[in-house]
Amino acid sequence: MPELSDRVKNLQPYPFVVIEQKKREALAKGVDLIDLSIGDPDLATPEFIVESLRKAAGIPDNHHYPSSAGMMSFREAVARWYDRRSSIKLDPASEVVSLIGSKEAVGHMPLAYINPGDVVLVPSPGYPVYEIGTMFAGGACHFMPLTAGNGFLPDLDAIPADVCKRARLMWLNYPNNPTAALAPREFFEKAIGFAKEHDIIIVHDAAYSEMYFDGNKPLSFLEVDGAREVGIEMHSLSKTYNMTGWRIGYAVGNSDIIAGLAKIKSNLDSGVFQAVQEAAITALDSDESVLDGIRKTYQARRDAMYDGLHGAGFEVNRPGATFYLWMKVPGGQSSAGYAAVVLEKAGVLATPGSGFGGPGEGYIRFALTDGVERIKEAVERIKAI
């Protein structure tokens, strides 16, 4: 039997696969587990979206191969959504491409733009696939530390000149996973200037842009002057409409960059099931009331967990968006060690910050994926350790 390729042999276990194994082991032992680990909404997809899928799935024309770039009607719905949300005008034909969830495109972007030896600027802690996609393309990662002292924003001035010369792609992600930080306009402006100076593509992963609290809607990267000259933005219906299993999203922005991503996709995937695209159109064209209800639910959970942990003396950031809390591990313990203690002694499953990269060591991430009462119970269990 041939050996695995070097790229696969060099892969570390995907953090959430490890967490899923720990979950199975705890449940097998009969633990009353409160799972606040993986960012998978526990809320159901709104029924009107499900009903749209039911109808579209019965249409024979939807049973054929779809376009890898997406149905024009879907791309037009994306353009309407951006116009309504942020007054951003997009050409559906050239500035929008469908995605099989944004994770797919995170993996495909480096294949479109990175040659062996090229550098990708990757936030750390950050979504692990930024690094994995770079490795698969033969590129090298330069990690941009996200620290509390800098508001969990990368320090672009700290990137060495020789790295800037080799860099071709930069990942940004705000609202941020895992830190829940937001990026101000001034940071995006600086990043755009940096990208222009060094001829770097910016890809802004905005998967959590609609999970915001206190009425403070995060900025779209494309709202900032010059953004479309250097980059694109990715979004997904996964978190916005509780559609993680449906696997549909989109990338928008610079037409040349979109064309490069679309070329990779046309060779490696066959697009999103058209019935799912039809349901996504229904979601994108709906009014804000459904999202307001989802945000209200998560804001109540955020308040319950933040108030409980902060009130007990834990060092935890109060998120303005996402459904994550990023907490400093107490007493100088390691991230993995403290996560193990919380699981063993409190029956609460969380994600070690180290799983998101070296600068995540010393933190732990909680996902607000259970009801308020269970979250309050989780807090009481953690306080009792």
CA distance 5 to 129: 18
pLDDT score for 332: 85
Confidence bin at 84 (pLDDT 50/70/90): very high
61 or 6, which is more confident? Answer: 61
DSSP code for 42: -
Residue type, 124: S
Burial of 311 (0-12, 13-18, 19+ CB in 10 A): exposed
Residue type, 258: I
DSSP code for 159: S
| Closest C-alpha to 207, from 92, 316, 99 | 99
- CA 62 distance to own-chain centroid: 29
pLDDT score for 7: 87
pLDDT score for 1: 83
Tracing tokens 């403070």 back to the chain, one arrives at: 216
pLDDT score for 369: 96
Q: What angle do CA 321, 22, 7 make, to 5 degrees?
A: 80
**Given a cut of 80, is residue 220 above it in pLDDT?**
yes
The percentage of the chain sitting over the pLDDT mark of 70, rounded to a whole number, equals: 100
| Averaged pLDDT for residues 117-122 | 97
pLDDT score for 142: 98
Where are the strands (E) in the chain, listed by range? Answer: 34-35, 96-99, 119-124, 140-145, 167-172, 201-205, 231-236, 249-253, 324-328, 348-349, 351-352, 363-367
Kindly report the backbone phi and psi dihedral angles of residue 72, in degrees, each rounded to the nearest multiple of 5, phi listed first.
-60, -35
pLDDT score for 20: 83
Domains and CATH numbers, the chain: 6-44+289-383 (3.90.1150.10), 48-284 (3.40.640.10)
Confidence bin at 15 (pLDDT 50/70/90): confident
**Given a cut of 90, is residue 367 above it in pLDDT?**
yes
**Mean pLDDT score of the chain, rounded to an integer?**
96
Tokens representing 326?
A: 């990023």
Tracing tokens 């995540």 back to the chain, one arrives at: 360
**Given a cut of 80, is residue 14 above it in pLDDT?**
no
Q: What angle do CA 265, 268, 269 make, to 5 degrees?
A: 75
**Given a cut of 80, is residue 17 above it in pLDDT?**
no
Specify whether the CB–CB gap between 90 and 74 falls below 8 A.
no
Specify whether the CB–CB gap between 19 and 351 falls below 8 A.
yes
pLDDT score for 11: 81
| Averaged pLDDT for residues 283-308 | 97
- 271-291 tens-digit pLDDT: 999 999 999 999 999 999 999
3 state SS of 253: strand
- From residue 156, give the alpha-carbon distance in Å to each of 117, 122, 159, 221: 21, 11, 6, 17
Tracing tokens 């010369």 back to the chain, one arrives at: 165
**Given a cut of 90, is residue 251 above it in pLDDT?**
yes
pLDDT score for 337: 93
Tracing tokens 């933190």 back to the chain, one arrives at: 363
Specify whether the CB–CB gap between 80 and 87 falls below 8 A.
no
pTM of the model: 0.96
CA distance 60 to 67: 16
**Given a cut of 90, is residue 27 above it in pLDDT?**
no
pLDDT score for 291: 97
3-state class percentages of the chain: helix first, strand second, coil last, to nearest 5: 50, 15, 35
DSSP code for 13: P
Residue type, 246: W
**Given a cut of 90, is residue 21 above it in pLDDT?**
no
pLDDT score for 284: 98
Confidence bin at 92 (pLDDT 50/70/90): very high
| Averaged pLDDT for residues 255-284 | 97
